[in-house]
Structure 1
Amino acid sequence: MEKIPLKFTYDIAPILLQFLKPDLDGSLEHNTLLLELLYIIIQKTPKQKDGSDVHFVEKLCRSITPFTNPRYPDVIGAYTYRIIAHLHSYQGLPEIIKALGITSVPERTLNAVDGQMDDTLKKTLRDLNQRLSGQGPEGQTIDHHEEKKKKKSLTNYVSGSMKATADWGVPMSSVAESCSADESSSVTPFLSVTETKTTQRRWKKSSVRWRTKLEKLASMGMTEVKTVKNLTYCINPDYLIARGSDGTEVFLGLRDDGTEVAIKRMTKSNYQLLKHEEEYLRLPELESKSIVRYVDFAEDDNFGYLVLQLCEYTLEEYIDQNNHHLPKDIQERMDILKTKVKEVLLSLEVLHNKDTKVLHRDIKPQNVLIDIRGKARLADFGISRRLNDGQTTLRTTPAGTKCWKSREVLEEDTDSGFKRSSDIQVAGMLIYYILSCGHHPFGKGIRCEVNILDGKYNLDLVEDELAKDLIEWMIQAEPSERPGVEETLTHPYFWTSDRRVEYLTKVGNGTEAENFRRTDERLLRELEENTKDKTFHNWRDKFPPDIVLKMDEKQRKAYPENTLALLRFIRNLYEHHAEDAEKIDLMGLFPDLFPSIYKFAKAKGWNSRPSLKKFLNVS
């Protein structure tokens, strides 16, 4: 059989243990099958060279200890000791096994094995018995020189045994009964061991923001924390990092393997949203660097727990200028915010993909998280829905957060349903929110949703004309007029300087620019009106004189001082004088040239021409 990944074992072992029946009247066949399966899994799980699996193995050992009680059927004891024999080979486990009171394999079990089991199992249990009694497999005496030094530390291992057993689903009452004094048992009682005041948990340090609190959590005593499955968290308000309107609470937490996590907790009477979110996060299609990573799910008698990748901030916190997460330099800040815009759209692309077909339905600043590397990830899929094959519209109860709903969701009298374009409009609102550092394009307060319905918005706090163009496109009142997410990602706002220059040369190759000396006067006036007071006014003075002279001589006549002539000048410069063109930073020389020409070409319908259309096509 191939090796079994450690992550799979981490997930499946606690589940198998929960289904074991520790009561003495439990099903023999049921328990035998589960113990056999558990043995196969741990046997095929490679040991970790760095010892990162030791804590997990300790908990496993403690959880199966009750089944060594001789009052269980012989076959149950045999299969339990076989697992212990395998665990005995892990570093530090012999001491823990001894501390749990397992000092030998009962003679009754060995005799039963001799009469009923295969030779391999017989040898395994007899070798284990020799090791437990102080001899190696060949009968050698084991050196006990360090025994006294270890004795004190062993009690620390045992202190968590009762708790670990309960954590993995074995009732405490059954454990107590199984481990009570019994003349024929080789397991000595350990209930009287006093719990240590603190426990140093495994902790893989990653977070910067939460480091101090996680350090405290890693060393808290067992009475100060809550545990469920392989999770540890603290319900002290200092460790509550978020709270939802639906009763959800999010706590800092640690997994047994040391991973830092966010634990989303909801009461079982109202945790269907949590299960629903887990269902989506476990979709293979959502395994992406753009989506908050699913880690695990657990539940107890009162709560459901969705375990997620721990992030540093919400988008709302990140762009709040009072928190000083963004650089003071304006250009640096805008570059970072532009990156966040693209990351949000990439996360939406994962959802809207033709194979994924997921509608988020609750896009807002609080549902975009910033991870330790500063990357934006979309989160919270509690009210998300998935379209069926061929379906484009979801007809269901309106959902979302106030001021973060699409127009069609707000319109009670319509039956337009929820589409990908509904997410797009709200994403457009979010892009403005990002670039304006916290403002909403439709205003705030009671007027916000009215303005969404009326299509009244204000984009004045965003200076970038291309960003405005993208936002306006996305927040169109009519769903059919909004772009798909793939189209937003190919918008000129995200183009490189080289791509923008190439676009300008193609416009300069058009009929209008080619005939710049005898163009239609009306078109020329319209273009000049749209480009008034721009950096490329008097453009001839901005280029190096020697290049202008060379280009004029080539034409045998000076280029006139208008925008069409400039476009033809650029086309000829890059087409016929590439070496000279490389010396010029065209986008730095005229930062507003490309946005002005793009928007004019768009208004005139030029972008639908084959030479320009290819720039805007979704690949």
Structure 2
Amino acid sequence: MLACCGAFGPLEVGLRLSSGGGSGGALAVKRLPALLGAQVSRLMVQLLQLRHTNVLQYALCIPNRCASQPEVLLATSLCECNLGELLVLLKADGSLGQRAHGLVRQLLSGLHYLHTLSTPVVHGNLKPSNVLIDDKGVVRLAEFGLHQMLYQTTPPPASSVIWWSCETCVAYEQNRRMSCSTMSDIQVAGMVVHFILTGGNHPFGTEASQIVQNIRRGFNAPATTNCEANDLISWMVLQNPGQRPSVEKVIRHIYFWDTEKKWKFLLTCAGMSPDCKTAPLPLSNFFACLEKQAAYHNTKGDWVSVVRTFLPEIAPSVVSYSNTPVGLLNFMRDCLNSMQNMDIQTTTRLQQFFVAAFPGLSLTLYRFIEKTDWLRHPALAPFVDGTNY
């Protein structure tokens, strides 16, 4: 029975037989013509060995090996739906906000696995229809590692081209061959992350022709409601492949830090340890660096008004602080020092306030120091070296 059409032609539903003779689950099966099947078989030497929660496992079968041009069957587990279909369901029941972050994590977890193998595997065909959801709700990457076989004799549909990197678009136009790399995967992954977080929107536009043109020009406008997510996506979709982050850097981005890690980072930048004692950071030199970076980037803000609005009981004390990131760090440190014996409820309230009221502060501070020697300081290095997965 035909299920749908994939990049290599129609899919059929099959059954995996268990060792006892029963059914071991449904399969999505592709029948590949002899010439294409022979090329795919050579690529499968490595791909058949891959095992990861967020990557679909391939299976290969050649029913009649004695034939002069044997047909090749390529199979994967049959999943419940693809990413685009899932987002429609999540928006309909109002649960997209709860699920989106987890979907992004799983997507990047699968890509991290492929890219960090001893011999890295380039996905090369990443798009919402190749991000599948299994019967347990787990994200599974599909059709990876086969981009060299795509669109050799037939032109690609616009629905595929809008999920190509800038360099893939250029290369295909020049020689009609798919040219993909781990860095092209990163750009497309940034597009898919935006697609998830916005419930189905592409960061490069709304119409196919506009999207392709904007990809080639490097013009994008991330429009999520999270400043950290916008920063990550903007980094991933940069036009120049050499300026994009590796997948290791992607998963260490502040967007994936939990509230506790952000709080510890803010405390450290304010010269305090998690127990609100003095941290081993030379504040005068560190703050001078931050002030210089704030002036260079023309960083604007009005944290004083925020404190006056949401913490009126301590608002009078803010008048002596500069309305800059360093002023806010000084205020935060002095505020906590003045409440050394505060109860856990007050401590928690202050933590939640500073993290929620200034959602871009951790990112701003990190960007200020990321290209300086400060990130190698023992007090700050753990925030760079640690993983968020």
Q: CA deviation at 1:523?
A: 7.6
Q: CA deviation at 1:347?
A: 0.5
Q: CA deviation at 1:615?
A: 1.5
Which residue pairs with 1:483 in the alignment?
245
SS where residue 319 of structure 1 aligns?
Answer: helix
* Aligned partner (choices 59, 78, 82) of residue 310 of structure 1: 78
User: Residues 303 and 452 of structure 1: is their aligned pair in 2 closer, same or farther, counting only changes over 3 Å?
Assistant: same
Is 2:389 aligned against 1:616? no
Which residue pairs with 1:59 in the alignment?
none
Q: CA deviation at 1:459?
A: 1.4
Taking only aligned residues, the RMSD between alpha carbons, in angstroms, comes to 3.9
Q: Where do 1:419-458 residues align within 5 Å?
A: 419-443=181-205, 444-458=207-221
The one-letter amino acid paired with 1:464 is N
Kept in 2: contact 1:312–1:372 (CA 8 A): yes
Structure 2: runs of 5+ lacking an equivalent: 272-280
Q: CA deviation at 1:304?
A: 2.8
Kept in 2: contact 1:363–1:423 (CA 8 A): yes
Counterpart-to-counterpart distance in 1, 2:3 and 2:197:
26
SS where residue 562 of structure 1 aligns?
Answer: coil
Kept in 2: contact 1:273–1:382 (CA 8 A): no
Deviations 1:205-259, CA, capped at 9 Å, x for gaps? xxxxxxxxxxxxxxxxxxxxxxxxxxxxxx2xxxx32212432413253524322
Counterpart-to-counterpart distance in 1, 2:290 and 2:44:
62
Deviations 1:285-321, CA, capped at 9 Å, x for gaps? x21111113356352577432232222111121112x
* Aligned partner (choices 244, 261, 271) of residue 37 of structure 2: 271
Kept in 2: contact 1:429–1:475 (CA 8 A): yes
Deviations 1:260-280, CA, capped at 9 Å, x for gaps? 122312143343465356434
* Aligned partner (choices 249, 267, 290) of residue 54 of structure 2: 290
Which residue pairs with 2:310 in the alignment?
542
Q: CA deviation at 1:378?
A: 0.7
Is 2:173 aligned against 1:409? no
Counterpart-to-counterpart distance in 2, 1:529 and 1:537:
16
SS where residue 321 of structure 2 aligns?
Answer: coil
SS where residue 502 of structure 1 aligns?
Answer: helix
SS where residue 26 of structure 2 aligns?
Answer: strand
User: Residues 445 and 607 of structure 1: is their aligned pair in 2 closer, same or farther, counting only changes over 3 Å?
Assistant: same
* Aligned partner (choices 376, 380, 387) of residue 143 of structure 2: 380
Q: CA deviation at 1:511?
A: 6.7
* Aligned partner (choices 537, 562, 570) of residue 323 of structure 2: 562
User: Residues 445 and 505 of structure 1: is their aligned pair in 2 closer, same or farther, counting only changes over 3 Å?
Assistant: same
TM-score, scaled relative to structure 1: 0.50
Counterpart-to-counterpart distance in 1, 2:41 and 2:289:
65
Indicate the structure (1 or 2) with the bigger Cα radius of gyration: 1
Q: CA deviation at 1:582?
A: 2.9
SS where residue 163 of structure 2 aligns?
Answer: coil
SS where residue 356 of structure 2 aligns?
Answer: coil
User: Residues 523 and 615 of structure 1: is their aligned pair in 2 closer, same or farther, counting only changes over 3 Å?
Assistant: closer
Counterpart-to-counterpart distance in 2, 1:334 and 1:262:
31
The one-letter amino acid paired with 1:266 is R
Counterpart-to-counterpart distance in 1, 2:27 and 2:350:
47
Q: Where do 1:187-586 residues align within 5 Å?
A: 235=1, 240-255=2-17, 256-269=21-34, 270-272=36-38, 274-275=40-41, 278-283=44-49, 286-294=50-58, 297-300=61-64, 303-320=71-88, 324-326=89-91, 328-329=93-94, 332-381=95-144, 383-384=146-147, 401-412=160-171, 418-443=180-205, 444-460=207-223, 462-509=224-271, 530-532=300-302, 537-540=305-308, 542-543=310-311, 545=313, 548=314, 560=321, 562-563=323-324, 564-573=326-335, 577=340, 579-580=342-343, 582-584=347-349, 586=351
How many corresponding residue pairs? 352
User: Residues 521 and 381 of structure 1: is their aligned pair in 2 closer, same or farther, counting only changes over 3 Å?
Assistant: closer
User: Residues 250 and 606 of structure 1: is their aligned pair in 2 closer, same or farther, counting only changes over 3 Å?
Assistant: same
Structure 1: runs of 5+ lacking an equivalent: 1-234, 386-395
Deviations 1:406-458, CA, capped at 9 Å, x for gaps? 1122224699x643111111111111111111111112321222211110112
The one-letter amino acid paired with 1:407 is C
User: Residues 513 and 597 of structure 1: is their aligned pair in 2 closer, same or farther, counting only changes over 3 Å?
Assistant: farther
SS where residue 186 of structure 2 aligns?
Answer: helix
The one-letter amino acid paired with 1:402 is V
Kept in 2: contact 1:559–1:569 (CA 8 A): no
Identity of aligned residues (%): 24
Which residue pairs with 1:593 in the alignment?
358
**Moved >6 Å (runs of 4+):** 510-516, 518-528
Counterpart-to-counterpart distance in 2, 1:523 and 1:410:
37
User: Residues 606 and 351 of structure 1: is their aligned pair in 2 closer, same or farther, counting only changes over 3 Å?
Assistant: closer
Q: CA deviation at 1:616?
A: 2.6
Query: Which of structures 1 and 2 has the larger relative contact order (alpha carbons within 8 angstroms, sep 6+)?
Result: 2
Counterpart-to-counterpart distance in 2, 1:571 and 1:252:
63
User: Residues 540 and 565 of structure 1: is their aligned pair in 2 closer, same or farther, counting only changes over 3 Å?
Assistant: farther
Q: CA deviation at 1:608?
A: 4.9
Counterpart-to-counterpart distance in 2, 1:501 and 1:493:
13
Counterpart-to-counterpart distance in 1, 2:242 and 2:294:
33
Counterpart-to-counterpart distance in 2, 1:359 and 1:590:
37
SS where residue 275 of structure 1 aligns?
Answer: helix
The one-letter amino acid paired with 1:316 is G
SS where residue 377 of structure 1 aligns?
Answer: strand
Kept in 2: contact 1:403–1:448 (CA 8 A): yes
Counterpart-to-counterpart distance in 1, 2:109 and 2:366:
27
TM-score, scaled relative to structure 2: 0.76
Which residue pairs with 1:216 in the alignment?
none
